[in-house]
Structure 1
Amino acid sequence: MSRPDQHSPLVDLGQERPQLPARARNLSPIVPRASIAGRALVAVVAIMTFLASITTGTVLLVSASASEWQSEVASEITIQVRPAASRDLDRDAAAATQAVRNQSGIVEVRPFTKEESAKLLEPWLGTGLSLDDLPVPRVIVARVQPGTTLDLAALRRAVTLVAPTASVDDHRAWIERMRSMTGATLFAGIGILALVIMATVISVSFATRGAMAANRPIVEVLHFVGAGDRYIANRFLRHFLRLGLEGGVIGGGIAMLAFGFSESIAGWFSGTPVGDQFAALLGTFSLRPSGYLALAAQAVLIAAITAWASRRTLFATLNEID
């Protein structure tokens, strides 16, 4: 059996292995970018962002519609002249109209005819009914000049002096109801957003712990070679921030498209009872540019919350590994 020559040159086996450039080695992520957990987290963040955007957009639509309603209702006063056995209804309605015109701060007075007053009852009584035998009051609508404080008590005295069966309504009850509805909608939207944020934090926390558990050997090796918790946490933080931004862009973008097409979709139902009810509640279904900016800022906020929840869970998990 021959012995190997002690003076034969040594072969560097390292040259036989494929060598990667230093830049490629540095770009290799610690946390795999494409994984089932990562895709699931993107889907969760996208769904949460979509729900939050729909909630915020609906609250903005309701608030804008309620503000328009309040401004319109607050600038109008309704006078009803009821029929009485000993009174001439047409004469009382004309006298009440003139009394309203004589008041300062009134810029427009529109008395409704008998047919127009009866037509106001059609949404409740339907069409084709004979209202001749019903005591249908005459309606007078007066528009108040914006910024003018109207003496409502003096207006009531002047109207009832010439038409004792008349009543003056400044719609304060309707305005209070609209304010109450707007406030309730706002609080409901805040509650839904709080639940969405809580669900996002919980989902990100579980995803972070799962990623740390799957990459525990890598984390231990990094600890062994001297890497600190901040270095490791930053690698995971970038990963989850990217996932949060991706999910936020997807969910927020779909919500913006939905609001963008909602006005066209609402046009299909225009003139129907359902369409009219939604139009009365949500207006034209179109968000203002500031609304779209709010949705974009909200998507970025949810991505930031995703990164914050990930960072908080990361350091707690690293302490357990240590």
Structure 2
Amino acid sequence: ENFVQDDPACAPACNGQRACGFPGKDKDCGTKFCNSKEVAGRFACNGAGLCDLDIAACDAYSCKGDACGTTCAATDDCLETHFCNAQGKCQPKLGNGIECTLPTQCGSGFCVEGVCCNSGCSDLGGTCKSPGKVGQCICPTCPNGTCRLFYRDSDGDGFGDKDGNLGTNTAVIGCVGQPPPVGYKDRADDCDDGDANVFPGQTQWFATASAGKGTFDYNCSGKVDKELPEFPGGSCTFCGPPKTCATATTCTTANTQAVLSCQLGSYLCGINPIKFCDGCGRNGFTSNTEGFRAAIQCGQSSTYYTCGSCTLAGGTVKGGSTASRQQRCH
């Protein structure tokens, strides 16, 4: 995305009645944008004559377009901590025991018997309206009055089925404080209960999809992580020295290591050279000396590049190598 930053807009102004002064943060001097659903960004004068990047958290409304909203028509118009009420305003989600009409109105995500409840109680055969305990799921069949679900562990890896429920017989009702039945677990965090290699915290890498759901998300993180780095379109080049935006194609100093990607440093330099232009490999910018030059699917093999280094200042890249490597995932 292209950002506009206009320092001249922050020049001092004089009106002939008082001392000249620089515009403050209330004056825009460039692009406005949404950094995320919760955060809005803009370029504003800093009171010292420069156009600076200003980041502000949204209060209740989601950031859409280029600013935090001021009204709502749907739940998505509000932050995760709020819901859109009948007046078109984002209101904080309700606590347990407060009257509700929809689950999205409740901080717990459960609206049972017209009140926000600490669980989906009706599925457990309990009630959320016991006198003195409104908003708490109470089960008459349990000694302490509190019931819960236990989740089937079909593959025996010690983790319960993430999708376990009563309708598919992958969960059973039990009581809080009592151990789960044989073959069931307290927690539902196994994203593939048909393969014992798939479970939260898995650190091994795999070249074939799981036997159950055919996933490569072996550690149940919600995404697929790849073992080896990838830089589509990358090449072994040299980043410029600190405080420069260019990517040099020859060595700047003796024994300098070439890298496969300087794009992030150059991109940030284009946004705000004063703040971000600090070269590749500094301030957390990526500086890698090996990787694939294309996106490789899990289990596939391709040419893997290792960059060389300089022997003399101003020399050419030497010592680079290639090899066929397989991309494994989890």
Q: Could you tell me the TM-score, scaled by structure 2's length?
A: 0.20
Normalization by structure 1: what TM-score? 0.20
Could you say which structure has the greater relative contact order, defined with CA pairs below 8 angstroms and 6 or more residues apart? 1
Larger Rg: 1
Q: Which has the higher strand share?
A: 2
